[in-house]
Structure 1
Amino acid sequence: MGSFNKCIETLETCLSDAKMKKSSVEQVILVGGSTRLPKVQHMLQEFLDGKELCKSVNPDEAVAYGAAVMAAKLSGSTVKSVQDVLLHDVTPLSLGIDVLGDVLSVVIPRNTPIPTSNAKEYYTTYDNQSFIAIEVYQGERSRSTDNHLLGKFSIYEIPPAPKGVSSIMVRFEIDSDGILTVTASIESSGKMEKLVISNESGRLSKEEIDKMVNDAEKYNLEDQEFKKKAEAYNALDDCLYRMKNKIKEHRVKTSVHPEILKLMQKAIDDKAEWLEENQAASLAELYNMKVDLEFICKPLL
């Protein structure tokens, strides 16, 4: 039964990846020798709420025929019926970069048809940041280091500016041969750096890809918790940064009572010290600290 159940699990994954419901399936064509088994046919029909199965195609010939057409296409056959065939491939795993908090920021999601291109804008994470190290990962886990590192590069000469002002556009492009090109450009100056990753340079095997997909499902709840915690940590850090800058403004110093200013300054200092000493704080603690800080520093807002 374990082997039979895997057939249904494969179908469930297929529908989930395609973002389709069972009711959207118009026709079921049996392909592959194992679909001859009455048990497989029964389970399949049951899974698809009694939908009739198409058995007019020879399940063994279908696989061989498909392989022959693909081989002919790749070898440059001049037969028109082969030339008219369009081969589609997809990215087997998500592709993205490491951002603040060891979080994977996905630029190209898993199962995106290739060739494809997508870009995301990122901002500096501290004042006068002069360079950004870009680490490119492949995988489905929320924590960057739980995924597969494909390569890394850096972009320098970012103009001096406060945190979050300078922006860097990161573009991922995958061509029809599966070659990935990652480009980073500084928006204000136009300076650009890039990394090219071919299929041979460190990409994962089918077995490794399957393991990563299975791990993502296995650790789904743990990954969600990690991502929420990282977001809460960054939110508190950003809040502290805003308050530190606000309290220095001339308008605030002249309009807020000195005792209240002292109280707010102490709250900012205390929370900053607490955050530095409590890197492993819980989600609830981080959330409560931010709420408390915003309440005390309400005059700044």
Structure 2
Amino acid sequence: MELFKKCIDIVKKCLTDSKMDKNCVHDVVVSGRSSRIPKVQQLLQYFFKGKALCKSINPDEAVAYGATVQADILIGKDNEKLQDIVLLNVTPLSLGILTDPTKDMSVLVPRNSAIPAKKEGNITTKRDNQTSIIILVYEGERARATDNNFLGEFVLLGISAVPRGVAQVKVCFDIDANGILNVSAEEITTGSMSKITITKDKLSLSGEEVERMVRDAETYKAKDNARIALADYACKVRNTINDEKIGAKVDPECKKKIKDAIEQVFQWLDDHELLDSGLYEDKLKWLQSVCNPISI
């Protein structure tokens, strides 16, 4: 029975990812494999409130038809017979990069994005006179990049030696119809560019691995969110206190106390992999009490 229920869990997840309710479903079509098992059909019919199942589809013909429709879409042929058919490949996991010292992944391509896809985002330098950025590419649903699947890395050189936060770097994720991912980074001012190509084999996790990563993201969601809130606040305080106009108004002794507290928090985050969300919340309250003299 546990195995049978897993079939229904897949249906539930499909509806959840599609942001649909089962009451929106007009027809339930089953074709081949597990859908031929009478118990699975019974559970499906019960799940969809007694709706009759369409079982007249030949599975071999369905596969061939689907491949034909996909080929037609990929070559861009304008066929009136297919205008009402929507057939999409999607990314099973979110795709993003790591450049920030908080170790959180910046998502550029959300999970279930249609392929082919092209998404862009902007990043900047974290230090004064920084002339290069190491960009690490990940896929997964966890907030912290190291909890996700590492895909590759590359370095963008030739960035203008300017104060932190001034340089503007455009990062582009481009996934083609074959599932090959090209990630590029370009500084807008100088035109310096670097890129990496990630082949489909590196992106092809098994269904079980994808399910595990999505499940882990739900399990650790509260802890991840609490950790992000603490890291984000620490970053904002650090940027504020380092701002010349604001920092000049803060008492030197108070400024030192705040900077020491921020460094302590970042060190604490580095030393502790994953704690109960309450501990992150307590540390955030402590940091807020220390930084109370300045407005964030």
When the two structures are superposed, what TM-score results if normalisation uses the length of structure 2? 0.81
Deviation of the 1:133 alpha carbon: 0.6
The equivalent of 1:257 in structure 2 is none
* Change in CA separation of 1:182 and 1:224 when aligned onto 2, cut-off 3 Å: farther
Q: Per-residue CA shift, 1:224-245, capped at 9, x if unaligned?
A: 4134313412421331332243
Q: Distance in 2 between matches of 1:296 and 1:75?
A: 62
Q: Distance in 1 between matches of 2:104 and 2:257?
A: 28
Q: Show structure 2 runs of 5+ residues with no match.
A: 273-278
> 2:257 is matched by which residue type in structure 1?
A
**Structure 1 range deviating more: 228-237 or 91-100:** 228-237
After the TM superposition, which residues 227-266 of structure 1 pair with which residues of structure 2 at under 5 Å, given as runs?
A: 227-245=225-243, 246=245, 248-249=247-248, 252=249, 261-266=251-256
Q: Does structure 2 retain, via aligned residues, the 8 Å contact 1:140–1:213?
A: no
Q: Does structure 1 retain, via aligned residues, the 8 Å contact 2:247–2:255?
A: no
The equivalent of 2:20 in structure 1 is 20
* Change in CA separation of 1:186 and 1:14 when aligned onto 2, cut-off 3 Å: same
Identity of aligned residues (%): 32
Q: Distance in 2 between matches of 1:296 and 1:19?
A: 44
Q: Distance in 2 between matches of 1:115 and 1:247?
A: 45
- Of 215, 219, 222, the match for 1:217: 215
Q: Distance in 2 between matches of 1:23 and 1:263?
A: 63
The equivalent of 2:40 in structure 1 is 40
> 2:258 is matched by which residue type in structure 1?
I
Q: Who wins on radius of gyration, i.e. which is larger? A: 1
The equivalent of 2:285 in structure 1 is 288
After superposing on structure 2, the runs of 4+ consecutive aligned residues of structure 1 that deviate more than 4 Å are 70-76, 82-87
> 1:67 is matched by which residue type in structure 2?
V
Q: Show structure 1 runs of 5+ residues with no match.
A: 254-260
Work out whether 1:161 is the aligned partner of 2:162. yes
Q: Distance in 1 between matches of 2:4 and 2:252?
A: 69
> 1:143 is matched by which residue type in structure 2?
R
The equivalent of 1:69 in structure 2 is 65
Q: Does structure 2 retain, via aligned residues, the 8 Å contact 1:119–1:171?
A: yes
Residue 171 of structure 1: SS of its match in structure 2?
A: strand
Residue 185 of structure 2: SS of its match in structure 1?
A: strand
* Change in CA separation of 1:244 and 1:145 when aligned onto 2, cut-off 3 Å: closer
Deviation of the 1:211 alpha carbon: 1.6
Q: Distance in 2 between matches of 1:273 and 1:139?
A: 28
Give the root-mean-square deviation of aligned CA atoms: 3.0
Deviation of the 1:216 alpha carbon: 2.7
Q: Distance in 1 between matches of 2:131 and 2:233?
A: 23
| Alignment: residue pair count | 280
